[in-house]
């Protein structure tokens, strides 16, 4: 899956959860701009976990502020990792 396809899927899930048109959401959109309170954000993250069959660690979830952070984190979780390696949602590559 390309980064663009992944981004569109993430935006689609967020748009559906917030009941807003996907065209109104960009990677630069913040959770604050979407009007997400902490409970809404948890619900969106659960929907993303279900959509992509991943688990977003709680400590990483607390740091998410923008749609771009979600896209980048999901990309890391669905990307193949080297044998025996795991990469955290919010971890920056070295």
CATH number for the domain including 16?
Answer: 1.10.1200.10
Question: Residue for token digits 């009007």?
Answer: 35
Residue 46 has pLDDT above 60, yes or no: yes
Domain extent at residue 41: 3-78
- Among the options 37, 40, 58, 60, which is catalytic? 37
What is the structure's pLDDT at 37?
Answer: 86
Any domain includes 56: yes
Residue 87 has pLDDT above 80, yes or no: no
Any domain includes 92: no
Residue 55 has pLDDT above 60, yes or no: yes
Any domain includes 84: no
Number of domains in the chain: 1
Confidence of residue 19 (pLDDT cuts 50, 70, 90): very high
Confidence of residue 3 (pLDDT cuts 50, 70, 90): confident
Q: Does 37 qualify as catalytic in the annotation? A: yes
Spatial distance between the Cα atoms of 30 and 60, rounded to a whole number of angstroms = 16
Scored b (16 or more CB within 10 A) or e, 9-31 reads bbbebbbebbeeeeeebeeeeeb
Give pTM, 2 decimals.
Answer: 0.80
Any domain includes 51: yes
Q: What percent of the chain has pLDDT over 70?
A: 85
What is the structure's pLDDT at 84?
Answer: 52
Q: What are the angstrom distances between the C-alpha of 68 and each of 26, 30, 74, 81, 84? A: 8, 9, 10, 21, 27
Q: Which two tokens stand for residue 68?
A: 């771009």
């Amino acid at each position: 899956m390309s980064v663009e396809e992944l981004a569109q899927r993430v935006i689609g899930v967020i748009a559906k959860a917030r009941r807003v048109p996907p065209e109104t959401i960009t990677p630069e959109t913040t959770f604050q701009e979407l009007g997400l309170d902490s409970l809404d954000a948890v619900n969106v993250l659960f929907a993303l976990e279900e959509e992509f069959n991943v688990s977003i660690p709680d400590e990483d979830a607390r740091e998410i502020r923008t749609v771009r952070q979600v896209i980048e984190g999901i990309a890391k979780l669905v990307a193949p990792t080297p044998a025996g390696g795991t990469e955290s949602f919010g971890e920056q590559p070295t």
